[in-house]
Structure 1
Amino acid sequence: MQALIQKQLENAPKSPGYRIFMLAAAAAAMAWSCTALQMDSVKQDGLQIAANIVSGILQPDTELLFNLTTAGVPYLLVETVCIAFLGTIIGAILAVPLSFLSASNIVPLPAALAGRSIIMAVRTVPAFVYGLMFIRVTGPGAFAGLLTMSLCSIGMLSKMYIDAIQDLDVRILESLDASGCNTFQKIRYGIIPQLVPNFLSTVIYRFDMNLRDAAVLGLVGAGGIGAPLIFAMSSYRWNEVGSILAGLIILVLVIEYFSTKIRVKLARG
């Protein structure tokens, strides 16, 4: 084995010129990027302002953090979770038929290309743009955030669903067909058991993403905890910013822990 490894190392291509060129290109790119730094624009009291921000964040407003009214952090976090959860569920349901209609191993290639074009168009538009559009239609609030999360979820989930559908083990379907199973039985025992774990794992991952996006969408008025966060930052109330960030960190850690456990369970069966 050692002789085989030594032989492979000796036969490895020697290209010092290529490596030197790549290192020089990387160094040139870094040097060019550094030219964008403009330290002259930094205010003289910038360090003091930064110190005040850090000090305020590290000393969160406990009254706001444990306030159980609709203006408190717990209620706003629950609203954010609801927006992310319902948006994920609606997007996951609507993505199923769209993904089947876009899988080239199920439908003709022209129909699959048309479906993929729709999915690509949906995924191209940023969540912020969708949020601003829905706010114009429904007005500011959690419903606009829900619609935004649903539409953004459809784009990503459909793409992941298509990959899972195209990776189906057709030998299982052929075995069921040889056993005399009808179409419903092939779907029940051959397709669904293969797709459900992948689908659920993808949905859980998308929920993690939606939870963070829902918090950010509040910045444009689409409900959740983002709006109080931007208001506190605009008013330089850094203690309130610290309490909101503390709540978000705790929430994300809890959701991440449980979602990881569920994904591992699905992967291992």
Structure 2
Amino acid sequence: MITRKRSLYQHIRPYLVVTLAMVIIAWAFSGIQFTGIKDSAGQILGAILSGLCHPDWSFVYSGHGEDLTSALLETLAIAFLGTIVSAIIAVPFAFWAAKVTKGFSLRSTTGKLILTIIRVFPELVLAIMFIKAVGPGAFAGVLAMGVHSIGMMGKLFSEGIENLNRGPEEAVIAAGGSRIDTLNWATLPAMVPEFINYTLYRFEIAVRSASILGIVGAGGVGAPLIFALSTRWWSRVGIILIGIIVMVTVIDWVSGAIRQNLLK
């Protein structure tokens, strides 16, 4: 068995990588100004933990529409509508950005650039902009969530189109099928499960993002949460955080189960 001698670069490459990583980490920490821990930090932490251990259960449901249940349902509705709207709009963007031929493609490049520009704006920034346009409330949250999700879902959909197995399409064409036949019998059956999978995954993320949109007035559970934090109502903070944890956990479990069945 012939063994090749390793070059000097191959010997020192792991050490160079580790050294470079340490330099970058040190540079990153050098830009952080540590101002110390406040004297009241322990008292505040104890109050927060006490609120989590003794939540305000009376806020769970009151029947007046201003309780935790109503806020969580509104958050869920914002995430659901924003995801559905963005999934529909993202489909043509995905075909625009998908690169299905080798070499440079102006159509694909411009499509990817548009999706990148859309993804640049965070949900909170979009929520503030839409609040100025349509006023505070859940509608602004849906618009912010939907616009931001177009960029991400368009990217995921386009990648799904690019990685699509072309074998079934070639088989339909070889059998004399038209473009419509190819779309109906080869392309769509392969794409739809992938699109649904990406949509469910994005919905999981949207539920978490929608939980904080209320902080800027875009509806959802974020509004009572920021109010409770600003007034140091820790028992109210505790029950809201518990509600968010339960909602996110259930959504993740249901979405994961659906995605597993789709991929079978």
2:128 to 132, 144, 149: 132
Change (3 A) 1:12 1:235: farther
Aligned partners of 1:29, 1:178: CA distance in 2, in Å? 55
Paired position in structure 1 for 2:175: 179
1:25–1:170 Cα change, 3 Å = closer
Task: Indicate the SS of the match to 2:204.
Answer: helix
* Residue 105 (1) aligns with residue 96 (2): no
| Partner in structure 2 of residue 93 of structure 1 | 88
Q: Which amino acid aligns with 1:258?
A: V
* Count of aligned pairs: 260
The residue identity in structure 2 corresponding to 1:203 is: T
Match of 2:164 in 1: 168
**What letter matches 2:48 in structure 1?**
I
Match runs of 1:13-28 below 5 Å: 15=10, 17-28=12-23
Between the aligned partners of 2:107 and 2:66, the Cα distance in structure 1 is: 49
SS in 2 for 1:66: coil
Q: Which runs of 5+ in 1 are unaligned?
A: none
Of the candidates 172, 179, 195, which is equivalent to residue 191 of structure 2? 195
Q: How does 1:33-44 map to 2 (within 5 A)?
A: 33=29, 36=32, 38=34, 41-44=36-39
Distance in 1 (alpha carbons) for counterparts of 2:106 and 2:23: 45
Which stretches of structure 1, 4 residues or more, deviate above 4 A after TM superposition? 10-16, 24-32
Asked whether the 8 Å contact 2:48–2:238 carries over to 1, the reply is no
With over 3 angstroms needed to count, the CA separation of the structure-2 counterparts of 1:17 and 1:169, relative to structure 1, is closer
Match of 1:57 among 52, 76, 81: 52
Decide whether aligned partners of structure 1 residues 232 and 116 sit closer, same or farther in structure 2, where only a CA change above 3 A counts: same
Distance in 2 (CA, whole Å) between partners of 1:12 and 1:73 is: 64
Question: Which stretches in structure 2 are left out of the alignment for 5+ residues?
Answer: none
Q: Does 1:219 align with 2:207?
A: no
Cα displacement string for residues 154-198 of structure 1 (whole angstroms, at most 9, x for unaligned residues)? 101111111111122222112111212222221111100110111
After superposition, the C-alpha distances for 1:204-225 in whole angstroms (9 at most, x for unaligned) are 0000011011111111110000
What percentage of aligned pairs have identical amino acids? 36
Alpha-carbon distance change, 132 to 179 in structure 1, aligned in 2, over 3 angstroms? same
Q: Say if 1:74 and 1:171 are closer, same or farther in 2 by CA, change over 3 A.
A: same
TM-score, normalised to structure 2's length? 0.90
Matched with 1:146 is: 142
Change (3 A) 1:18 1:114: closer
In the aligned structure 2, how far is the partner of 1:116 from the partner of 1:29? 30
CA drift of 1:24 comes to 4.2
